[in-house]
Amino acid sequence: GAGVSQSPSNKVTEKGKDVELRCDPISGHTALYWYRQRLGQGLEFLIYFQGNSAPDKSGLPSDRFSAERTGESVSTLTIQRTQQEDSAVYLCASSYRVQTEAFFGQGTRLTVV
């Protein structure tokens, strides 16, 4: 596709369930970023990938959060045993290489009830 695609666009889940969020970056982009944006807040860095490796995982809030990337393409962010405080919009971005312009997807709005 022409842009960064995220799915699902909306997800409502029950507290304690696991969820998987998907990001399809722009083809050929080696860098991929995940952020969390709570209502009315800024972008909270979670993790970024350079190729399939994640040099910086420091932003993951807890061990319930994990992410992987395969084939230097699609990435999944998994949240286990979801909590209400996990409710937010999860944004994915990709760039041709690190330090170049990042293009953002529309986000996945996660609501934990």
Partner 1 sequence: AQSVTQLGSHVSVSEGALVLLRCNYSSSVPPYLFWYVQYPNQGLQLLLKYTSAATLVKGINGFEAEFKKSETSFHLTKPSAHMSDAAEYFCAVSDRGSQGNLIFGKGTKLSVKP
Residues within the interface to partner 1 (CB under 8 A): 31, 33, 35, 41-43, 45, 48, 50, 55-56, 58, 91, 93, 95, 97-99, 101-107
Q: Which is nearer to partner 1, 50 or 80 (CB)?
A: 50
Note whether 10 and 25 are within 8 A (CB): no
- Residue 92 CB, nearest approach to partner 1 (Å): 10
In terms of Cα–Cα distance, which of 79, 29, 35 is closest to 52? 29
Measured from the CB atom, the residue of 75 and 82 that comes closer to partner 1 is 75
CA dist 85 and 72 (Å) reads 30
**Tell me, what DSSP letter sits at residue 112?**
E
Which residue number, 66 or 103, has a Cβ lying nearer to partner 1?
103
What is the smallest separation between the CB atom of 82 and partner 1, expressed in angstroms?
A: 24
Beta bridge partners of 68: 76
